[in-house]
Amino acid sequence: MNGSDESNGAVRPAAPRISMQFDHPLRQYPVAADLVVLYEIDGVAPGSVRAVERSVLWYTEGKGEEDLGVHHFERLDDAARVAEALPTGTIAVRLPASPLSYEGVVVKIRWCVRIRLFFATGRDFVSEHVFDVGDIAPALGMVERLQ
Amino acid sequence: MRLPRFFGKKRGHRRTGSQAWGSFGEAIFYAALVAAGACFAGLLFSGAVGIGSDATAPAWSRWWLWAFTLLIPGALLAFGLAGVARTVRAWGKSDERRAAAEGVPNLLESMGQSPGADRGHPGVPTCEDLVNSPGTILRYRLPIESPESWTLVGMGLFAVLWNAVLVVLAVGAGIDLLSGRVEWVLLAVLMPFAAVGIGGIVLFVRRLVLTTAVGTTQMEICDHPLFPGRSYDVLLAQSGSGVFRSIALTLEVEEMASFRQGTDTRTERVIVWRETVKEWTNLEITPGVRFETHVTVTIPAGAMHSFASAHNAVRWRIVVRGQPEHWPGFVRVFPLIVYPATLTRSTAAGGLTLVDEVRR
Amino acid sequence: MSEAAPDIRAGNPFSTRSVRPGRIPPLDGTGSPLCVAEMLVGLERCGGSAALVGPHGSGKTTLLWHLADALETRGCRVERVRLHGGRGAMSLIRALIHAARGSVVCIDSWERLGWPGALAARWFAALGGLRLLVTAHRSGHLPTLWICRTSTALLAAIVERLPQAGGLPSAECEAQVADVFHQSRGDIREALFTLYDRFEDRARDRRLAGLSRP
């Protein structure tokens, strides 16, 4: 689990905690499966959140610049919808056929569910949880480095 | 804008030395062309190289000489300026960035951003550019990643044009010498011109002999795109002459990651999987008769599909490595596209769904 | 519905995702945290325009983006430009044209402009009442706000702040960091790439060891 406070204020109160439950064992999903995630947000005062963003995306990791592709995105900034999304909510989406999760040497592809909270104070908090799409074996290592 | 390229590296995408020094040398070379063109044009206009020096001849009889002669320095200036601009623009950049910026079809990079994503298959390159060339025996002919033919044409053009200028200058100097006049400026210009001209001929002939001796490598495949867990018939055709100590055909997966920070631009390319499909040793190829052979290439089940994003890529390729006797070895790369196993072919090419084919 | 499971793949702590500028807090040459507030005071003393100077991989860009964030927090308008070829130059022109008076234009890789471009940018900025904060390899026409230096201690401090503390066994950490720092000749970026490779090698060895067990 990864949560971070991306505000630049000098004083930082305790960060919220977002936990997620995935509906597949070991968070491993076959291609084009339905992803259902139940999340729970703790440590957030009622009314302090002005907007919530929920997304399902893939990103690259490794030695190159990070690329990402957003598969599902929704922004809730209407008070009623924000209230519905807190403190628990569900994200349900059908996963695409590609790209598959990949554990390479200099290129890795990760899928994650990301929730970003925007506070009335101007701060924001993001939490993302990684899951796998497909069942690709990790690369065993580098055979040759090309010049 | 795509700038003409007449000279390229001998060994495809591999580098045997520092990229910076290579680029610097390239820039010096093109600058020399610019200098030569400017110099010749200057000599022309200053009268050092006379055209129609008979002042009594009508102007109309001289115009065609001027037009013809101006072509030569004009061409030199064009080659040189294009080359300098190209080198400066590509300074410090990776091969992939250069190819994309210059409009030369770097197939996988151009595909990484397009129709695959639109069709709901983000990150998977399309293979339109790989299936638009039909094969003579199998369904598709695979393009080679770094064609060498343009390099040969460029070298030839340069040798012809440069030596044409050299001949004009040499004839002019010879006529002057025979008539008792010594044009020191002309002779001074002629020396380096002759050196470059001879060098150009030597390089061109060497390249021509190498191309003729080593020959071309062609690859055809029975189907495209490829899918994990399936086997494909591939035809390798190698032309040339003489004995090849070895020719090896390998199937490889390459990862590419590019990173840009500050003045650093780095691209890391690593081979993460390689399988030698077939290797031939002590192969004798007769001139005019291609060595042709069929091999079966299998994409392992559970293998990663081809992937391309703005800065990262996973690429499949067939690589032919040859070691001729008496000549330097060569490496020729043929890119492939591997789709995820469950992708339906109806969204690729052919109109079939993979599931239907398996049932049949 | 399954219980929440721990992350399957923790990833390589030296990937660019973890080490890119902005991810690591600004540290000085000895690995101690830099006081951004003091640097902003220094920037005012320089007349509002200054350069962050240092060799390749010494943390100039990291510091630049942290200062940009701090300026924005204080209500200053900031334009960010990365100079990488033609597009970077276009971004700079756009930034200089669109920036409001009093804005700070943060430019990474100032030398890529060359002296005519730098002169033109400074003239244009002066005309538009803009301030420039740039990164450069050498001191030049702009006052130097900070000289970025590197050391083994700095690399060790960065590694400590990465996920899993870089995944280096504590007994070997100091020796590995020193070895990599010297191998990279003080280039922190190169050192982090080398540590990336070593982490991948260890992960591969563990995977192979796992596969070979009956």
User: Which one is the CATH code of A17-131: 2.60.40.640, 3.90.1170.40, 3.90.550.10, 3.30.43.10?
Assistant: 2.60.40.640
Give the confidence band of C204 by pLDDT, cuts at 50, 70, 90: confident
The answer to whether the CB of A117 falls within 8 A of the CB of A49 is yes
- Cβ atoms of B337 and B130 closer than 8 Å: yes
CB pairs under 8 A between A and C: 69
C97 touching chain A per CB within 8 A: no
Question: CA-CA distance, C158 to C190, in Å (whole number)?
Answer: 13
Does C61 contact B262 at a Cβ distance shorter than 8 Å?
yes
> ipTM for the complex?
0.88
Q: What is the pLDDT of residues C123-140, one digit of tens each?
A: 889 988 999 999 999 888
Backbone angle region of B92, left / alpha / beta, with phi > 0 → left and psi within -120 to 50 → alpha: left
Q: What are phi and psi of C22, to 5 degrees?
A: 105, -25
For residue C135, how many other CB atoms are within 10 A of its CB?
28
Separation CA A108–CA B227 (nearest Å): 20
In tens, the pLDDT along B149-186 reads 667 778 888 888 888 888 888 888 888 888 887 778 77
Burial of C80 (C-beta count, 10 Å sphere; 0-12/13-18/19+): middle
Nearest to A25 among C2, C69, C207 (CB): C2
User: What's the whole-number mean pLDDT along residues C154-166?
Assistant: 89
Distances (CA, A) of B256 to B158, B240, B312, C203: 35, 33, 5, 20
Select from A25, A129, A140 the Cβ nearest to the Cβ of C207: A140
Cβ–Cβ of A134/B340 closer than 8 Å? yes
- Region B23-34: what's the mean pLDDT? 71
Residue C89 has pLDDT above 80, yes or no: no
* pLDDT at site B99: 39
Q: Tokens representing B87?
A: 């080198």
Largest CA distance in chain A: 57
**To which residue do tokens 């060098």 refer?**
B199
pTM for the full model? 0.72
Neighbouring subunits of C (3+ Cβ pairs under 8 A): A, B
Q: Which residue of C lies nearest to B270 if distances are taken between CA atoms?
A: C197
Domain ranges of chain C: 36-147, 151-209
Architecture of the CATH domain C36-147: 3-Layer(aba) Sandwich (3.40)
Give the tokens for residue B83: 């080359």
The answer on pLDDT for C28 being more than 80 is yes
At residue B83, the pLDDT reads 72
Each residue's pLDDT tens digit, B210-221: 777 778 899 999
Neighbours of chain B (3+ CB pairs under 8 A): A, C
Could you state, in chain order, the average pLDDT of each consecutive group of 10 residues for chain A (147 residues)? 45 76 92 94 88 96 94 93 91 95 96 94 90 92 83
Q: For residues B342 and B345, give the distance between their C-alpha atoms in angstroms, rounded to a whole number.
A: 9
Query: Distance between CA atoms of C193 and C132, rounded to whole angstroms?
Result: 31
> Can you tell me which residue has the tokens 């495949």?
B221
Looking at CATH, the fold of the domain delimited by B121-145+215-359 is given as Immunoglobulin-like (2.60.40)
On the question of pLDDT at B356 being above 60, the answer is no
Q: Bigger pLDDT: C24 or A100?
A: A100
Distance of CA B9 to the CA centre of its chain: 8
The DSSP-derived string for B263-328 is: TEEEEEEEEEEEEEEEEEEEEEE-TTS-EEEEEEEEPPTTPPPPEE-SSEEEEEEEEEEEEETTS-
The reported pLDDT for the residue numbered B20 is 59
Query: CA torsion, points B110, B113, B116, B118, in degrees to nearest 10?
Result: -130
Residue B183 is predicted with a pLDDT of 75
Give the number of A-B residue pairs with CB atoms closer than 8 Å. 126
Amino acid (one-letter) located at B108:
L
DSSP 8-class letter at C21: B
Question: What pLDDT band is residue B142 in, cutting at 50, 70 and 90?
Answer: very high
Q: Which has more pLDDT, C89 or C8?
A: C89
Structure tokens at B14: 């591999």
Residue B150: the pLDDT is 64
Q: Distance (Å, rounded) from C-alpha A126 to C-alpha A3?
A: 6
Residues A26 and C8 sit within 8 Å (Cβ to Cβ): yes
Of C69, C60, C68, the residue nearest C29 (C-alpha): C60
pLDDT at B36: 78
Share of residues in chain B with pLDDT > 70 (%) = 67
Please give the DSSP secondary-structure letter assigned to residue B226: B
| Three-state SS at C172 | helix
Residue spans per domain, chain A:
17-131
Residues of B whose CB is below 8 A from A138: none
Q: Where are the domains of chain B?
A: 19-93+150-214, 121-145+215-359
Query: Tokens in use for C55?
Result: 């060799």
Residue B104 has pLDDT above 80, yes or no: no
β-pair partners for B324: B244
DSSP letters, C92-158, are: HHHHHHHPPTT-EEEEE-GGGGHHHHHHHHHHHHHHTT-EEEEEESS--SSPEEEE----HHHHHHH
Higher pLDDT, B62 or A85: A85
Tokens, residue A65: 């610049």
Q: Supply the DSSP string of B37-101, one letter for each residue.
A: HHHHHHHHHHTSS-SS--TTS-THHHHHHHHHHHHHHHHHHHHHHHHHHHHHHHTT--HHHHHHH
Average pLDDT value for residue range C151-165: 90
Mean pLDDT for all residues in chain C: 85
Higher pLDDT, residue A34 or B41:
A34
- Percentage of chain C beyond pLDDT 70 is 92
Q: Which residue of C has its CA nearest to A68?
A: C17
What is the least distance, in Å, from the CA of C126 to any CA of chain B? 24
Q: How many angstroms separate the CA atoms of C214 and C211, rounded?
A: 8
Q: Is C12 an 8 Å CB contact of chain A?
A: yes
* pLDDT for residue B11 is more than 60: no
Residues of A in Cβ contact (< 8 Å) with B256:
64, 106-107
Put simply, the chain C residues between 44 and 73 with a CB less than 8 A from any chain A CB are 69-70, 72-73
